Chains A and B, each alone.
Chain A
Amino acid sequence: MTNTINANNIKTLEFDALIIGGGGSGMRTSLELAKSGLKTAVVSKVFPTRSHTVSAQGGITCAIQSADPNDDWRWHMYDTVKGADFIGDQDAIEYMCSEGPKAVFELEHMGLPFSRFDNGRIYQRPFGGQSKDFGNGGQAARTCAAADRTGHALLHTLYQNNVKEGSNFLNEWFAVDLVKNSKNEVTGVIAFSIESGEVAHLKAQATVLATGGAGRIYASTTNALINTGDGLGMSLRSGFAAQDMEMWQFHPTGIYGAGSLVTEGCRGEGGYLINGEGERFMERYAPNVKDLAGRDVVARSMVLEILEGRGCGEDKDHVFLKLDHLGADVLNSKLPGICELSKTFAHVDPVYHPIPVVPTCHYMMGGTPTNIHGQAFTRVNSEDVIVPGLFAAGEAACVSVHGANRLGGNSLLDLVVFGRAAGMYIQKELKSGGGVDSASNSDIDNSLERLNRLNESNTGYDVASVKKELQTCMQNYFGVFRRGEFMEKGVSELEEIRNKAENIYLSDKSIAFNTSRVEALELQNLVEVAEATAISALNRNESRGAHARDDFPERDDENWLCHSVFDPNDKSLSKRVVNFAPNTMEAFPPKVRVY
């Protein structure tokens, strides 16, 4: 791997469809394709069950009418539109909420060990932002759960069914960059086996980015160490747009100090937050639903309590999540994983003591813009243009069902519904003769440039320290509250950080399982995502959903009821209209968002 690699000295592996990422959305896509007879491969930098979907806890939100036989997917749609602060695309939300029950029942039929009600149906718990009757009927219980290990159960079930269908996995392969032909079509990726170091051109008619989020751009995150935005990094380097990148969800309850997630299901089961004075402060911020307001609302309220001196602990820099009143039985049967995590990372047994928590970066609402079929598009002369050969699904994509703020339990639904949809569409397209032209050798050589540059580095910066710099910058200037002057400073610091990241010195040039090479390439992806985030955040001059600006504290529907589209070619931001045209019903018009 240390000699210059070019199109002539690597091998080409040819597929019909290539899925980058072996998490929930990738494996749902591959499962759909496994039955199609198309030649498919899942390229995953970790063994699939190590993907971050495994960490999802509370559940998958869907109107399956189990807890409430009168539940309606339209109510779920209303909640999602409102939760998104009205910049989620209503056609996509409609599709997700109405197709959801089918996708959830499929998972059950595949064997997912959902918890159950006494009548044998799937257990559903209340989550934040859920209502009955379009906000008029009180709290709903719509999140289908397997105890507090729903993501684990879902990911393993998907892997198991991929084994059943004989899906083809390239495990512990790292995708480096997209390959594009002269028509700007995506024709596959450059990737290497982490174990053997072998580099290959993986050629495909359809390439699906199912690479998940990039929470590691922040210093404090619930995200796995592998969440480095590899798909988005690749697409941005290829010049393709990213949408709504300023919208990052800070989950209210990350364990203080460790960052591990504590599910919203804790509050769904009856837990609540208290400040240093023992006050249940969410009663002041969201009098109706209190601790079950939208995540952005709860996270901001927590930060305000801390900033105003009412935090908990010696430094008054966190708050407490109180669960002990639920009793040992509920905690052990409904939240066993949380009890385990809390003991390990907070040294606290929630049966007796509250868990110290703090808002922690959790989810990327933005991503590669797609339609409901997973087809990626980009911007050319202010027009949306489909990128032939490129698809995205799950957290890597921005379809957009989460808009400015995702509701709890909607991410698992997003990845099964749109993973499935992408699989179905690719099948149809490829079987009816669709596809892309081959790339030339020089196209392939272009995509090898980054890897060659790293492999040939003789001097430069160190990965670990540049990564720390990046994470500190994002944490300081692009956190829960944002302000123009600070963000400007952040943007200029990022320019310097980008320069360093592009000049990394890879001291270990070895071939076999060289994780330092992988980490260097991941860092460069993080920088792409961070830059898109920073520029988008600086330019959206309003507060909406997760994007809260001190200097523009109000929502501005007149100017900003729209998506933001980041163009990596000139680092500019443009606006894109939000879809207000669902197929089967009237759109929900924007209104003031109160909980």
Chain B
Amino acid sequence: MLKINIYRYNPEEDKFPYMKKYEIEKPQKDIMVLDLLHLLKESDSSLSFRRSCREGVCGSDGMNINGKNGLACITALSEVLKGDRIDIRPLPGLPVIRDLVVDMTQFYNQYEKIKPFLQNDTSPPEQERLQSPADRDKLDGLYECILCACCSTSCPSFWWNPDKFVGPAALLQAYRFLADTRDLEKDSRLDDLADPFSVYRCHGIMNCVAACPKGLNPNKAIGEIKTMLLKGKNSKNIIASDGVTA
């Protein structure tokens, strides 16, 4: 038998969240954690979680599975089971709306803060803007982010300062546009990040890298941004007004 513990909280009924125990026959073949949740929902329809593509590209079903953040739809039971036990909790650090569903507002706010769109005010050519394959390659490992929040919600610095530290996911996107040869706002993008919190709360803990279900490396991108900031004209701003050093 599989012993499953799931974080439950319904704001209308529960004063506090609790772990609900489920037991089901261990499936014959290896299934994904999302399949397991669907099985449980068939008998307990009140269990709530987000899901959409069920193939690891939409980023809906990030959750904490036996202590590690990941996407339920591409995490096989065989990878995560501890004996016959599995504990499933919402992504850590964000307010819980219900059960495994978290309020991602802070996460999305940080994303919007880095101006996640190409900025180039020159009038475009009739066709596409040219970009060499080598320059395009610089975007690999960056543009593939699916905004699942597995990285940012595994980051102690983000837990501590979700309002001021941009966090690994949005910083990865900040670097995606800094690295794009078609973007012309590098200086202003760096200006926006040149403070003690936005980037420099990253202390290289690397939880983001361990958590990313797409195999991306936000820590590396953050390192690149730090280098650009130090070499750039705004390096002075980094030792900030409140005396907090980077």
Contacts and interface: CB of A to CB of B under 8 A. Distances in A.
Given A54-B57, A337-B57, 8 more contacts: A46-B50, A55-B58, A110-B118, A111-B182, A115-B133, A121-B130, A225-B53, A511-B12
A340 B213 CA distance: 11
B163 interface: no
Contact of B55 (A47, A50, A164, A341): A341
B10 interface: yes
A115 B136 contact: yes
B128 A109 contact: yes
Nearest to A260: B55
Given A507-B45, A508-B45, A513-B48, A153 B143 contact: yes
Given A47-B104, A507-B45, A515-B49, A160 B116 contact: yes
A149 interface: yes
Nearest to B12: A510
B184 to A, nearest CB: 12
Interface string A493-531: 000000000000001101111111000000000000000
A56 to B, nearest CB: 10
A55 B48 contact: no
Contacts of A164: 115, 117
B124 interface: yes
A64 B130 contact: no
Interface of B: 10-13, 41-42, 45-46, 48-60, 74, 76, 97-99, 101, 103-104, 108, 112, 115-118, 120, 124, 126-133, 136, 139, 143-144, 146-147, 177, 180, 182-183
B45 A116 contact: no
Nearest to A106: B124
Contacts of A260: 54-55
Contact of B46 (A120, A195, A510): A510
A119 interface: yes
B56 A344 contact: yes
A281 interface: no
Contacts of A513: 48, 97-99, 101
B59 A50 contact: yes
B127 A105 contact: yes
A122 B133 CA distance: 10
A226 B131 CA distance: 36
22 contacts: A46-B58, A47-B147, A50-B50, A55-B53, A105-B128, A108-B128, A111-B182, A121-B128, A121-B130, A149-B57, A152-B146, A153-B143, A161-B117, A163-B116, A344-B56, A507-B45, A511-B12, A512-B11, A512-B98, A513-B101, A515-B49, A516-B45
B118 A111 contact: yes
B128 A52 contact: no
A120 B143 contact: no
A54 B133 contact: no
A315 interface: no
A117 interface: yes
B48 A109 contact: no
Nearest to A468: B42
Q: Chain A CB within 10 Å — which of B13, B42, B127 has the most?
A: B127
B53 A224 contact: yes
B136 A510 contact: no
A553 interface: no
B118 A116 contact: no
A438 B66 CA distance: 53
A49 interface: yes
A50 B143 contact: no
Interface string A94-127: 0000000100110011110111111111100000
Q: Chain A CB within 10 Å — which of B115, B136, B180, B182 has the most?
A: B136
A51 B147 CA distance: 13
Contact of B128 (A114, A344, A463): A114
Interface string A153-179: 100100011011000000000000000
A108 B117 contact: no
A91 to B, nearest CB: 25
Instruction: List the 4 shortest-distance A-B pairs measured between CB atoms, nearest first.
Output: A111-B118, A120-B130, A108-B128, A160-B117
B112 to A, nearest CB: 6
A581 interface: no
A156 B97 CA distance: 25
A280 to B, nearest CB: 28
A384 B184 CA distance: 50
Contacts of A114: 128, 136
B49 A105 contact: no
Nearest to B29: A257
B53 A50 contact: yes
Contacts of A146: 143
Contacts of B12: 510-512
B133 A163 contact: no
Contact of B117 (A101, A110, A258): A110
Interface string A259-301: 0110000000000000000000000000000000000000000
A439 to B, nearest CB: 31
Contact of A64 (B53, B55, B108, B127): B127
Q: Chain A CB within 10 Å — which of B48, B52, B99 has the most?
A: B52
B52 A224 contact: yes
A49 B124 contact: no
Contacts of B60: 46-47, 50
Contacts of A105: 124, 126-128
A424 to B, nearest CB: 19
Contacts of B118: 109-111, 160
Contacts of B55: 55, 258, 260-261, 341, 344-345
B41 to A, nearest CB: 7
A195 B136 contact: no
Contacts of B143: 113, 146, 153, 156
A54 B139 CA distance: 18
Nearest to B45: A516
B113 to A, nearest CB: 11
Q: Chain B CB within 10 Å — which of A47, A110, A113, A121 has the most?
A: A113
Nearest to A505: B45
Contacts of B180: 111, 113
A253 to B, nearest CB: 14
Nearest to B103: A195
Contact of A510 (B10, B112, B128): B10
B136 to A, nearest CB: 5
A226 B61 CA distance: 13
Contacts of A51: 52, 58
Given A117-B133, A160-B116, A225-B52, A49 B59 contact: yes
A464 interface: yes
A52 to B, nearest CB: 7
Contacts of B99: 513
A50 B52 contact: yes
A512 B97 contact: yes
Contacts of B41: 464, 516
Interface string A130-159: 000000000000000010010011001000
Contacts of A510: 10, 12-13, 46
A108 B129 contact: yes
Nearest to B123: A109
Given A55-B55, A105-B124, A225-B52, A116 B136 contact: yes
A147 B99 CA distance: 36
A64 B182 CA distance: 20
Q: Chain B CB within 10 Å — which of A117, A161, A224 has the most?
A: A224
Contacts of B49: 515
Q: Chain A CB within 10 Å — which of B58, B118, B144 has the most?
A: B58
